[in-house]
Amino acid sequence: GSTIGILGGGQLGRMLSVAASRLGFKTCIFEPGGDCPASHVANYHLQASYDDRDALAKFGEAVDVITYEFENIPASALDQLEALCEVRPNRRALTVSQDRLTEKAFLQDIGLKVAPFMGVSSLDDMHKAVAQIGAPSILKTRTLGYDGKGQARLRSPDDAADAFAAMKGAEAVLEGFVDFSCEISVIGARAADGQVACFDPGENVHRDGILHTTTVPASVSAALRTDAVLIAGRVLNALDYVGVLGVELFVTPSGLIVNEIAPRVHNSGHWTQNGCLIDQFEQHIRAVAGWPLGDGGRHADVVMENLIGADMDRIGDLSADPNVGLHLYGKADAKAGRKMGHINRISPKG
Ligand code: ATP
Ligand code: MG
Ligand code: MG
């Protein structure tokens, strides 16, 4: 059988590896860390850093297609890998989503609504951006932010200097605060032949900047659910994308506003593991392997809840609950704020 190369060895890489092996593929992960969640389940673990050219060459030659579980792959590593092996999703999807400013400009260019935004590289820029966008607003680092890290909220224009200082010199983008009624996300997939399929939109609740729950169905109108799916389709087609993509959206009285996209399987798509015949991980593997997409129709109502840090104390009770699908990542220490696993609580489709 052929071998799927996965850049990144976290829980997403782990669940991609499981899905791949269920379809008869071998997996090889490339991950600088040693004892990581994906290393317990992948066939091979190439433990090396992204500037190790020999290791990258070995990886690119050993696998038949390369995919990834995170978007911050260094450009130099990609240059080298792309010359050896097909990388799916493609380079453009990565470049666009590695940088919030590029991403917002792209989304706007393809006709989607985003929050008002302006790039901020200096304190002078910051004052100009606040004059333009006002407050409340959020300053975010352009690169490397996740789980709400690298963000500073401005309650009034007076917070400008403090927010700028909080970026510690990193390039940033100021975004107007969106007064949303709820947040939803769509997990979409596109096959190599251009076929597109989306899972039902889920409704997301965050706690301390980290995704807490995703609920399907989302409590929004059928029209908005359709809009959300069409937005995901537009992004997938514009990027000539192959694989699974997550699109985070704000629901507002004037329609949907795109928050951000992620060129990979997404935490808010974990509900598909117990709500669909074909989950997001298998869908991604199918797409990158050049297979047809599977049927991601939803057969149950699901509430996905992340298990973070001390939530692991509840495992005893959760494992005895007949309506709970338990997914643990095999991480050793349950540090505060660390994603240790998730549950999918299912009920009959309403
Ligand atoms: P993720 O872990 O999803 O990648 P992130 O660090 O990239 O998170 P964002 O998704 O940009 O962060 O923001 C985290 C959360 O903060 C959002 O889901 C939303 O609840 C809130 N938020 C972000 N931007 C805005 C905005 N412009 N207006 C209102 N709320 C916002
Ligand atoms: Mg993000
Ligand atoms: Mg987000």
Q: What is the pLDDT of residues 103-152, one digit of tens each?
A: 999 999 999 999 999 999 999 999 999 999 999 999 999 999 998 999 99
- Which atom, in ligand 1's list, is nearest to the CA of 115? 27
Instruction: Kindly state whether residues 252 and 342 are assigned to the same domain.
Output: yes
Atom of ligand 1 nearest to the CA of 210: 2
CB 89 within 8 A of CB 98: no
In a domain, 126, yes or no: yes
**Is 299 among the domain residues?**
yes
Is 149 among the domain residues?
yes
The answer on 332 and 205 residing in a single domain is: yes
Q: Can you list the residues of the chain whose pLDDT is less than 50?
A: none
Q: Ligand 2 centre and the CA of 114: distance in Å?
A: 14
How far apart are the CA of 348 and the centre of ligand 2, in A? 31
Do 187 and 172 fall into the same domain? no
Whether the predicted model's global pTM rises above the 0.95 cut: yes
Q: What is the pLDDT of residue 189?
A: 98
At 269 the pLDDT is 99
Q: What's the structural domain count of the chain?
A: 3
Please name which ligand lies nearest the alpha carbon of 151: 1
Atom of ligand 1 nearest to the CA of 140: 11
Output the pLDDT for position 67: 98
Compute the mean pLDDT over every residue in the chain, rounded to the nearest whole number. Answer: 97
User: Is 104 a domain residue?
Assistant: no
Residue 96 lies in a domain: no
Q: Is residue 187 part of a domain?
A: yes
Ligand 2 ion local residues (Cβ < 5 A): 260
Ligand 2 centre distance from Cα of residue 229 (Å)? 19
Q: Is 265 annotated as a binding residue?
A: no
User: Each residue of 199-211: pLDDT tens digit?
Assistant: 999 999 999 999 9
Distance 208 CA to ligand 2 centre (A): 14
Cα 205 to middle of ligand 3, angstroms: 11
Query: Is there a binding annotation on residue 50?
Result: no
Boundaries of domain holding 311: 182-348
| 257 & 274 share domain | yes
Closest Cα to atom 13 of ligand 1: 148
- Report pLDDT for 31: 98
Query: How many angstroms is it from 118 CA to the middle of ligand 1?
Result: 16
Specify whether 125 is located in the same domain as 34.
Answer: no
Which residues, judged by CB distance below 6 Å to any ligand atom, belong to the binding site of ligand 1?
Answer: 115, 138, 140, 145-149, 175, 177-178, 183, 206, 209, 248, 259-260
350 is known to lie in a ligand binding site: no
For the CA of 204, the closest atom of ligand 1 is 18
Has 132 been labeled as part of a binding site?
A: no
- The pLDDT assigned to 83 comes to 97
In a domain, 201, yes or no: yes
Q: What is the pLDDT of residue 79?
A: 94
- Which atom of ligand 1 lies closest to the CA of 151? 6
- Residues 287 and 208 placed together within one structural domain of the fold: yes
CATH number at residue 25: 3.40.50.20
Residue 100 counted as domain residue: no
